[in-house]
């Protein structure tokens, strides 16, 4: 495993990390969840990603039980939660980035995870109905209270992140350390263009999600819908419609052939391509089976195969390089 500072912070995060969205407490049983956490931890993964909304709190409960039953030292791993969507409650006070919900969401996550503090706490989306000042103050206070160690954002714009930093700086508060954006071969703009300045100015770290675009970039949808996979799950039609389009499949078929030429596999190529970007602090892996994680854990080795020529060939297939705005 390789480790990298999370942005300009001193926290060393494994370049591959592991998340529980749609799997823990939902698609997979608790024994499989345990096997996956064990494999991840034993392979050097030190960051496990979670959120209040994942299986409406159940995902954190499952992870909490696993952590409780292991004798892993608390200083050997990093755990996150995210607040904004709530854990299922529909009342106006049960969601958002206001002080009340953030404080209560943090307490609830700690209880479900059976931990004394969260290492990372994310604002899962921007909240247009709460002043950014209230959110920054609350996160700063949670840090000074020892409930969280670092705070960050997810799917915020560069402008929103900068607003938070400016307010934090003016008031000597702690600003956001990391952002969690989607990043993969099919979804590139934010990470490659929008944030390009703030990696330098505020030292933004990134914990990127869906490196396989929910599995399409594994190549397994190339010839039709395989059984028992995420995009065939009931209730996830929106995710299937968003990702499983012919234009994407056409590219993945060509990329799968290229991966073979390189002597690797499509999942490993797709994840290695994300890691090749130095602004990616860590790529969060997802898996519903142990064999999948065994495969994607090998992606770091493939980064070395991605020389200039290989990256150019991939770029030609993708044909989606985001452009920096002209001044």
Q: Where are the alpha helices (DSSP H) in 233-307?
A: 237-243, 246-262, 266-276, 290-296, 299-303
Given the residues 54, 77, 150, 221, the one annotated as active site? 54
Cβ proximity to ligand NDP: between 122 and 167 the closer is 122
In the range 288-317, which residues lie near ligand NDP by CB under 6 A?
A: 288, 292, 295-296
CB-CB contact of 64 with 112 (8 Å): yes
Report in angstroms how near the CB of residue 243 gets to ligand NDP at its nearest: 9
Q: Measured between alpha carbons, how far is residue 166 from residues 13, 159, 160, 171, 174 in Å? A: 26, 10, 10, 9, 10
Q: Determine, following the binding rule CB under 6 A, whether residue 19 of this chain makes contact with ligand NDP.
A: yes
Task: Report whether 18 contacts 282 (CB < 8 A).
Answer: no
Nearest residue (CB) to ligand NDP, 21 versus 195 = 21
151 touching ligand NDP, by CB under 6 A: no
Does 138 bind ligand NDP (CB under 6 A)? Our answer is no
Q: Please, what is the minimum distance in Å from the beta carbon of residue 251 to ligand NDP? A: 15
Q: Is 119 an interacting residue with respect to ligand NDP (CB under 6 A)?
A: no
Our finding on whether 210 is near ligand NDP (CB under 6 A) is: yes
Is residue 7 at the binding interface for ligand NDP, with CB under 6 A as the rule? no
92: how many CB neighbours lie within 10 A of its CB? Answer: 10
For ligand NDP, the closer CB: 27 or 138: 27
Distance CA 313, CA 91 (A): 51
Adjacent-strand bridge partners of 3:
14
Among 92-100, 134-142, 167-175, 206-214, the segment contacting ligand NDP (CB under 6 A) = 206-214
Is there a catalytic annotation at residue 77? no
What backbone torsions phi and psi does residue 176 show, to the nearest 5 degrees? -70, 135
3-state secondary structure of 232: helix
3-state helix, strand, coil in the chain (%, to 5): 50, 15, 40
Task: Tell whether residue 23 is a contact of ligand NDP (CB under 6 A).
Answer: yes
> Taking Cα atoms as reference points, which of 15, 169, 19, 40 lies closest to residue 82?
19
Q: Which residues are catalytic?
A: 54
**Which residues of the chain form contacts with ligand NDP (CB under 6 A)?**
19-21, 23, 49, 154-155, 180, 209-215, 218, 220, 229-230, 267, 284-288, 292, 295-296
């Amino acid at each position: 495993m390789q480790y990298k500072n999370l942005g300009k912070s001193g926290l060393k995060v494994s370049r591959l990390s592991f998340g529980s969205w749609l799997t823990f407490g939902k698609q997979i049983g608790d024994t499989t969840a345990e096997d996956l956490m064990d494999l991840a931890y034993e392979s050097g993964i030190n960051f496990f990603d979670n959120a209040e909304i994942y299986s409406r709190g159940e995902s954190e409960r499952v992870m909490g039980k696993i952590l409780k039953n292991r004798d892993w030292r608390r200083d050997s791993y990093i755990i996150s939660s995210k607040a904004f969507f709530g854990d299922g409650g529909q009342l106006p006070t049960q969601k958002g980035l206001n002080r009340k919900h953030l404080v209560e969401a943090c307490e609830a996550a700690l209880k479900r995870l059976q931990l004394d503090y969260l290492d990372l706490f994310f604002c899962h989306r921007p909240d247009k109905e709460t002043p950014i000042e209230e959110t920054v103050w609350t996160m700063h206070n949670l840090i000074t209270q020892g409930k969280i160690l670092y705070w960050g954002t997810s799917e915020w714009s560069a402008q929103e992140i900068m607003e938070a930093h400016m307010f934090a700086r003016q008031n000597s508060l702690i600003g956001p350390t990391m952002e969690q954006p989607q990043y993969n071969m099919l979804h590139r703009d934010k990470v490659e263009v929008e944030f390009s300045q703030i990696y330098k100015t505020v030292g933004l770290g990134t914990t990127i999600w869906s490196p396989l675009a929910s599995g399409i970039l594994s190549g397994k949808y190339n010839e039709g819908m395989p059984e028992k996979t995420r995009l065939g799950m009931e209730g996830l039609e929106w995710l299937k419609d968003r990702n499983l389009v012919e234009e994407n499949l056409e590219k993945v078929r060509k990329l799968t052939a290229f991966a073979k030429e390189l002597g690797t596999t499509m999942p490993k190529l797709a994840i290695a391509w994300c890691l090749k970007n130095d602004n990616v602090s860590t790529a969060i892996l997802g898996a519903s089976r142990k064999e999948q994680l065994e495969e994607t854990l090998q992606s770091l080795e493939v980064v070395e195969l991605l020389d200039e020529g290989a990256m150019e060939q991939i770029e030609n297939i993708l044909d989606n390089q985001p452009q920096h705005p002209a001044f």
